[in-house]
Amino acid sequence: MSLRVIHIANHKGRESNVSFSTLKHTNNLCYSYKSDPVSNARLRSGSVDTSYDKILSKHGSELVKKILTENVDVDIESFGKLINDSSSIYLDEKGEFLYSPPQIKENILSPQGDILKTVDPVETHANVRDDTPPLVWTKTFVDREEAIRKYIFRRSLQLFHNDGLTYDFLYEMAKELNDRKQMVLLGPGENEKSPLILQNNGSPYRGFLDGYISDKGYKLFIRLSNQEIRLPK
Amino acid sequence: MARDIQLILNNKTTSFAFKKISRSDLYGSKKRIVLDSNNSPCVRTQIDEDTGEILPAGSYKSFYIDQEFNYIDKVNLEVSDEDGNPLEKFESTLGNPQVLDKIEIQDFLNMEILSMYHLTSEDVDPELNQLLTNGEFMKFSFNYYADFNLETGVLIKQNDNIFALIGNICQPDWVSETTAPPDSEDLSIIDEDSLDFQMF
């Protein structure tokens, strides 16, 4: 399965698979020194044995003196060593390796940051793919200006045709929205009121289809929003 | 110098205090936690794949090095784009007045939005206030910290509140019949932990 293909229906209920790309602001930075490339390196500067808690518990009130005279905060064997690859792991509360799989839970937090409840994580499945039911037009049409005043459109997905047939398919959708000067709320095929989820366990977004045409062709976007423009209640 | 957003319209400056409004401020959020066999929270850390040693937080540092492993101070780095063109470093715009200009709705829609601020001012320029009340969208340059990417802010007035949406303007091309489909891409950049979005 390719992540860049989605299944979408038009305003007449016809459906097809089309390609898409995320609109991105390209700003890839290249670093150099005296015109030669540089790279990022991670070097060891301490170890478990030289951690503050460890040396404090070992030397207590003598710690400062020990640091000045015996460099107990420096592990000569490891200091300055290059770290090639590392992996994330979990340790128990005492800093020991786990010998049984950990439990995964989710804290649900209020807008004020208080824990409302702790629950088992719920797996959510992507509903915007080439093998899921098509995204369909809901009955919710919104003026562009009204929509942009209400919702933060964090990102846009631009749709592209794969062949002549899907060119006509997308052009007609763009023309319909261009003529209306409106966007339409998209819903996943199995439940039009659900949000769009682009990948398994991904964030839910509301997606609005927005289209334009000219003699140069068409532009068709799914505008993604997950936040209203308003103050907290 | 005050760390506020200062905006100029027709030679008149308005200073705004600002506060970030995140998604979790509106809807709450969810946070995944990992528990050990005693139901105590686990500590996430790194392990060195070569030596098997645990790398606690603060036990390593990142540096730039040249091809001969010499340490390079960050301030001496040269920065360029992918084509090798040197890039200019933009200072923070906070406290530095920025000129306001109108932005078309389509350009606004084509922005990738990174954050939203609620702006407050005791003395908003009446002309600016009127433009915003009339529904105009006004853009300005924005940079929280000095860096190599100057972002764009857009002012929106909603009821009595003024918001600034901060992000980058993207420039999509028209798609003609001969346009080739895009290359494959990773969707993880649009992912984040969050609550179900209830706004309808």
Both structure tokens of A221: 């976007």
Distance CA B26, CA A224 (A): 17
Pairing of strands B5-9, B98-99: parallel
What integer pLDDT is reported at residue B200 of this predicted model? 41
The neighbour count for residue A185, using CB atoms within 10 Å, is: 19
User: Which of B44, B185, B190 to probe by mutation at the A interface, max A CB count within 10 Å?
Assistant: B190
For B49, half-sphere exposure in the C-beta direction (CA atoms, 13 angstrom radius) is 5
B192 pLDDT band (50/70/90 cuts)? very low
Looking at the partner chain, which of B36, B79, B174 has a beta carbon nearest the beta carbon of A98?
Answer: B36
For B50, half-sphere exposure in the C-beta direction (CA atoms, 13 angstrom radius) is 7
In sequence order, what are the beta bridge partners of A212? Answer: A219
Distance CA B142, CA B117 (A): 12
Is the minimum CB–CB distance between B29 and chain A shorter than 8 Å? Answer: yes
- Mean pLDDT in residue range B164-183: 90
Residues A22, B190: C-beta atoms closer than 8 Å: yes
What integer pLDDT is reported at residue B22 of this predicted model? 96
What integer pLDDT is reported at residue A78 of this predicted model? 84
Q: Which of the residue ranges A42-51, A157-166, B67-76, B172-181 would you say has the lowest mean pLDDT?
A: A42-51
Residues B84, A30: C-beta atoms closer than 8 Å: yes
B2 pLDDT band (50/70/90 cuts)? low
Number of domains in chain B: 1
Classify residue B56: in a domain, yes or no.
no
Domains of chain A by residue range: 5-25+124-228, 44-81
Classify residue B38: in a domain, yes or no.
no
The neighbour count for residue B189, using CB atoms within 10 Å, is: 11
Is the minimum CB–CB distance between B90 and chain A shorter than 8 Å? Answer: no
What integer pLDDT is reported at residue A3 of this predicted model? 45
Residues A110, B105: C-beta atoms closer than 8 Å: no
Owner of token pair 């990142």: B62
What integer pLDDT is reported at residue B199 of this predicted model? 46
Residues B59, A45: C-beta atoms closer than 8 Å: yes
Domain that holds residue B132: 1-23+89-173
Percent of chain A with pLDDT over 70: 99
A5: closest chain B residue by CA: B184
Classify residue B151: in a domain, yes or no.
yes
- Distance of residue A173 Cα from the nearest chain B Cα, in angstroms: 13
CA A152 from centre of chain: 15
Both structure tokens of B168: 């980058």
Chain-wide mean pLDDT for chain B? 89
- Distance of residue B192 Cα from the nearest chain A Cα, in angstroms: 6
B-chain residues near A138 (CB < 8 A) = none
Looking at the partner chain, which of B33, B69, B113 has a beta carbon nearest the beta carbon of A154?
Answer: B113
B186 pLDDT band (50/70/90 cuts)? low
Classify residue B63: in a domain, yes or no.
no
What integer pLDDT is reported at residue A136 of this predicted model? 94
Q: Which of the residue ranges A66-75, A144-153, A190-199, B121-130 would you say has the lowest mean pLDDT?
A: A190-199
Span B69-110, pLDDT tens digits: 899 998 899 999 888 889 988 999 999 999 999 999 999 999
Span A198-225, pLDDT tens digits: 888 888 999 999 999 999 899 999 999 9
Span B13-57, pLDDT tens digits: 999 999 999 999 999 999 999 999 999 999 999 999 998 888 888
Distance CA A212, CA A179 (A): 8
B193 pLDDT band (50/70/90 cuts)? very low
Classify residue B191: in a domain, yes or no.
no
Distance CA A130, CA A152 (A): 26
CA A47 from centre of chain: 33
Angle at A142 between CA A141 and CA A147, to 5 degrees: 150
- Distance of residue B189 Cα from the nearest chain A Cα, in angstroms: 9
| Nearest one of B23, B47, B131 to A227, comparing CA atoms | B23
Spell out the alpha helix ranges (H) of chain B: 23-27, 105-109, 126-133
Interface predicted TM-score (ipTM): 0.84
pTM assigned to the model: 0.85
A169: closest chain B residue by CA: B177
Main-chain phi, psi angles of A64, to 5 degrees: -60, -45
Chain-wide mean pLDDT for chain A? 91
What integer pLDDT is reported at residue B187 of this predicted model? 53
- Mean pLDDT in residue range A10-26: 91
Classify residue B65: in a domain, yes or no.
no
Classify residue B149: in a domain, yes or no.
yes
Higher pLDDT, B21 or A129: B21
